[in-house]
Amino acid sequence: MTDAPDEDRWQVVSQLVEVRSPWLSMIGERWREGAGRELEYWRVEKPDSLLVVTVHDGRLIAPVRSFRPGVGRTTLDLAGGRLDDPSTLAQTALAIVRREFKLNADDLFESQEPLNLVGWDVDSATSNQRVFGVAAKMRREVLVPDDHLGASYPATSAGGRELLSELVCLQCRAVLSEWLERHP
């Protein structure tokens, strides 16, 4: 006989508080684990994220740096946004790149490559959020306005490693690292 999986031995005893907003929900709960101990846990429910490794004319490009209240500073990040439905990766990647680089065309991409079809857990201890990644190669004739371009590196292994050294967002680093594994 085998032991029951951990999730079968854990039970929610009570909910302490729930705070909802359009961006996230914070939930405090009391759980009983398999041995009978009651523990208090706090978790955050957030929409999934999609990050896009954007290649244009042989260059890895990133949008302009943005102020990030969570860390209190401006950071360089990959183009990214919410992903409401993983079946819409291609459409969502297009919308994100259009928004981040202030582009109007619908036919921006020469190709797209999902980097993970199953989202990676961002913080499985305290959050349900998953991150997905797509590599998108933009058509050469697309003009990216200079004032919406935050960084540009050769779309090579060396250029990718240089961009990786500039990124402080762990999610961005994970998605770019996956791209680097596939494009040595």
pLDDT digits (tens, 9 = 90+) for 55-112: 999 999 999 999 999 889 999 999 999 999 999 999 999 999 999 999 988 889 999 9
Domain boundaries, the chain: 6-45, 48-182
CATH number for region 48-182: 3.90.79.10
Tracing tokens 């990676």 back to the chain, one arrives at: 120
Its pTM stands at 0.89
Task: Transcribe 117-143 into DSSP letters.
Answer: SSPEES-TTTB--EEEEEEEEEPTTPP
Q: Is 77 helix (H, G, I), strand (E, B) or coil?
A: coil
Which tokens is 114 given? Answer: 């999902």
Which tens digits make up the pLDDT trace of 128-152?
Answer: 999 999 999 999 999 999 999 999 9
